[in-house]
Amino acid sequence: MAFEGLADKLAAAFKKLRSKGKLTEVDVKEVMREVRLALLEADVNFKIAKEFIVKVTERAIGIEVLESLTPAQQVIRIVNEELTVLMGGEQSKINFASKPPTVVMLCGLQGSGKTTHAAKLAAMFKKQGKRPLLVACDVYRPAAIKQLQVVGEKAGVPVFEMGAGDPVKIAKAAVLHARDYGNDLVIIDTAGRLHIDEVLMDELKSIKTQVAPHEILLVVDAMTGQDAVNVASAFNEALGIDGVILTKLDGDTRGGAALSVRAVTGKPIKLVGMGEKLEDIESFHPERMASRILGMGDVLTLIEKAQLQFDDKQTVEMAKKLKSNNIDLEDFLVQMQQIKKMGPLKSILEMMPGVGSQIKDADIDEKQLVRVEAIITSMTPKERQKPEIINPPRKRRIAAGSGTRVEDVNRLLKQFEQMRKLMKQMGGMSKMKKRPFMPF
């Protein structure tokens, strides 16, 4: 995951602070040196890292911190606040036009993920009730139009194309088409290059002049590190971008781009790509990302992911069953299947406060969920509703039907019974009314 190395180094630095009951100015400056090195190793722009350390140090050596009962916590709070400010302070959303259609123009270098993220963006806003139209203006890269049609079909979004014609004329025609056919969001997938050149910029400027996009979003690959910031600066100077989509933030990247883009370009990161699936795109929240970096989890994003996948009616019914301690393996299976839709289990657990650091090196077996699902689906409806009737012969049949062992069936039944006892001990479960049930 992005920021993993930075998070580890920051955690090690702050651990030294926590071990001291009272802090001195020397203690703070020593830890800040380690924080600065951690930022530089994460590929944060050196000027940004230096300015960040100066700001944090000035605040951290104040009387209210050094004389506090919990000085280490105060320093971490300051770092959290300054990281949030560094990444933009608050969420920056896509600006929609008061009179449709809203035109969003995507630009970036070849290989940054423009085409895929055009479809991701379309799919995301389609779920929010918009009627997007994808526009194929990359007429140079072989199979670029076909690729957009394929991902557009997966997203259930129409694609406007005119073959290998003039990209400017295609963009203009697409906007007119959107007005005629009721598409309130036009997403233009422009051509990229292996490097920034005048031909590319002139074409993008012409499209900008002719269709007057409401948003120009630069798609940047986070894996390129500090080069991502340089690319953002160049595109912003030549084209005047409105924001950035940072892709591959789920990969093994040092994360410096996310910390530097806003400070260097003055333009916010609006969205981040967190995987290869169409739904793997998130709004960028600086305060939540700062919390993730400092190992504090990201409960709000976790809840939002759950709300997208969990059916409201099922959640209400589950709350009633939990209240009466009347859940069965059928409920367990339904909830587990919905959790799988939220993404990899490890990424979900990492969003929970205090859990991320504990599972960093853990081998999370995603196949375990598949095995549990196979075991439950091998049961009869009556067995799912009343697990207590599952005797040894039934266990052998279920194990054979699911391709597992009797020990696996026993383990699942034991864990389920322990969970039911825990639910009973927790009483009324009033806190669960508005939250999905997560069986792990």
| pLDDT tens-digit series, residues 226-277 | 788 888 888 999 899 999 998 887 765 566 777 888 888 889 999 998 888 8
Q: Which two three-digit tokens encode residue 319?
A: 């709350």
Burial of 227 (C-beta count, 10 Å sphere; 0-12/13-18/19+): middle
pLDDT tens track of the chain, all 440 residues?
556 678 778 888 888 777 776 778 888 888 899 989 988 888 888 888 999 999 999 888 876 666 666 777 788 888 889 989 988 888 899 989 999 999 999 999 888 889 999 999 999 999 999 999 999 999 988 889 999 999 999 999 999 999 988 999 999 999 999 999 999 999 999 998 877 888 888 999 999 999 999 999 999 888 777 788 888 888 999 899 999 998 887 765 566 777 888 888 889 999 998 888 898 898 988 888 888 777 665 455 555 555 555 565 666 665 666 566 677 888 888 777 776 666 666 666 665 555 444 445 555 556 777 888 899 999 999 999 899 999 999 999 999 999 999 999 999 998 888 877 766 665 544 444 444 444 43
Q: Which residues contact 213 (CB under 8 A, 6 or more apart)?
A: 103, 104, 105, 188, 207
pTM of the model: 0.68
First to last CA, the chain: 21
Assigned CATH class of 302-432: mainly alpha
What superfamily would CATH give domain 102-294?
Answer: P-loop containing nucleotide triphosphate hydrolases (3.40.50.300)
Fold observed for domain 4-86:
Four Helix Bundle (Hemerythrin (Met), subunit A) (1.20.120)
Pair of tokens at residue 401? 């039907």
Q: Please say whether the beta carbons of 221 and 112 come within 8 A.
A: yes
3-state secondary structure of 415: helix
Task: Give the Cβ contact number of residue 180 at 10 Å.
Answer: 8
Name every residue whose Cβ is closer than 8 Å to that of residue 360 and which is 6 or more positions away in sequence.
4, 8
Tell me whether domains 4-86 and 102-294 share a fold: no
CA nearest 260: which of 88, 81, 11, 402?
A: 88
Where in the chain are the domains?
Answer: 4-86, 102-294, 302-432
- Residue 218: its pLDDT value, please? 93
DSSP 60-119: HTSHHHHTSSSHHHHHHHHHHHHHHHHTTSS--PPPPPSSSPEEEEEE--TTS-HHHHHH
Q: What stretches of 294-357 show up as alpha helix (H) in DSSP?
A: 299-309, 312-323, 329-341, 345-350
